[in-house]
A = this chain, B = another copy of it.
Amino acid sequence: MAEKARRVDDALDRALPLRHPERLLASMRYSLLAPGKRVRPVLTLAACELVGGEESTAMPFACAVEMLHVMSLVHDDLPCIDNDELRRGLPSNHVAFGEGVAVLAGDALHCFAFAHAAEATAGVPPMRVLRAVAELGKATGAEGLLAGQVVDIEHFGQTEVGLEVLEYIHLHKTARLLEAAVACGGIIGGAEEEEVERLRRYGRAVGLLFQVVDDVLDVTRTSEELGKTAGKDLAKGKATYPKLMGLEKARLLAEELAAKAEEELQGFDRNIARPLRHLARYIAHRHN
């Protein structure tokens, strides 16, 4: 998996060379190439291989998924949204480049994600590519990630947020893009309909797991360990799993979700599914 992540890093670097206008490209590259876990693009590559596709055919979509993830972070960190000054261990994009450029660099990553996925994917029937493009658009849009983000903002600082709203937020804000990352890998790799559905369920479980663990880490780790501001959820009065169900129950929920994710991998070849199984465990037990 670490090797896959390194290949993603290389592909991202090659896809987006520094060129004119340099300030815009520098801002895009600053956030895109900041050291990251690359969980989403690695999921795309592994899902493609799981259904018998070549890793390389899924690389443009893997890059597109990471670009969309990063652009959402750049915009979320803005003063008018989450107002975060630290991201991946570095000053947030708007701190480094100014708010105006951060807005536009996020937009440019957005455009580039779709252009790159549509143009650089080679050796795959166009119908599959189109379907995966639509999948990404829906996963990140008003039915997906952005729905979660807006509902999150709406409930910001409210004390009566229940588990149901919290789950809505995380299913949309986090799990939907992880689901799409896995689904796109499957679609590009030529998965059967039923395999795509199983991959989706795996992705959704892993996505929710990711968020539950994120919430747990926010209260148990330091900013230095996380590479972003720790304790900010509590400080901001945000609803989190530990806050709503207690730390121990949140940890148990994480275990359940990891088990559910592994379960969905059962009908696939045990050996080829190993990376995805490993990834679910890694996400469950990660420390930052």
B115 touches A126 (CB 8 A): no
Say yes or no: is A194 at the interface (Cβ < 8 Å to chain B): no
Say yes or no: is A210 at the interface (Cβ < 8 Å to chain B): no
- Pick the most buried of A21, A72, A99, A126: most chain B CB atoms within 10 A of its CB: A21
B80 touches A103 (CB 8 A): yes
Complex Cα distance, B144 from A114, in Å, reads 14
Say yes or no: is A275 at the interface (Cβ < 8 Å to chain B): no
B140 touches A111 (CB 8 A): yes
- Judged by DSSP, the binding face of A is helix
Could you say which residues of chain B place their CB within 8 Å of the CB of A104?
75, 81, 146, 149-150, 153
Complex Cα distance, B126 from A129, in Å, reads 9
Could you say which residues of chain B place their CB within 8 Å of the CB of A119?
130, 134, 137-138
Q: What mask results when residues 144 to 176 of chain A are scored 1 for a CB within 8 Å of chain B, else 0?
A: 101101110110000000000000000000000
Say yes or no: is A267 at the interface (Cβ < 8 Å to chain B): no
Say yes or no: is A23 at the interface (Cβ < 8 Å to chain B): yes
Say yes or no: is A127 at the interface (Cβ < 8 Å to chain B): yes
Within 8 A of B (CB), among A22-79: 23-25, 28, 71-72, 75, 78
- Pick the most buried of A23, A130, A137, A151: most chain B CB atoms within 10 A of its CB: A137
A108 touches B24 (CB 8 A): no
Say yes or no: is A110 at the interface (Cβ < 8 Å to chain B): yes
A255 to chain B, nearest CB (A): 31
Instruction: Say which size band chain A's interface belongs to.
Output: 35 or more
A133 touches B118 (CB 8 A): yes
Complex Cα distance, B108 from A75, in Å, reads 12
Copies of this subunit? 2
From B28, B80, B99, B137, contact of A114 by CB (8 A): B137
Complex Cα distance, B138 from A71, in Å, reads 16
Say yes or no: is A219 at the interface (Cβ < 8 Å to chain B): no
A147 touches B110 (CB 8 A): no
From B103, B115, B131, B150, contact of A23 by CB (8 A): B150
A110 touches B110 (CB 8 A): yes
Complex Cα distance, B42 from A27, in Å, reads 34
Please name the residue on chain B nearest to A68 by beta carbon. B111
Q: What mask results when residues 221 to 236 of chain A are scored 1 for a CB within 8 Å of chain B, else 0?
A: 0000000000000000
Could you say which residues of chain B place their CB within 8 Å of the CB of A129?
126, 130
Could you say which residues of chain B place their CB within 8 Å of the CB of A116?
137
Could you say which residues of chain B place their CB within 8 Å of the CB of A137?
111-116, 118-119
Ordered by A's residue number, 11 sampled pairs between the chains whose C-beta atoms are within 8 Å are A80-B100, A80-B103, A100-B153, A104-B153, A107-B141, A111-B138, A112-B142, A115-B136, A118-B137, A125-B126, A126-B129
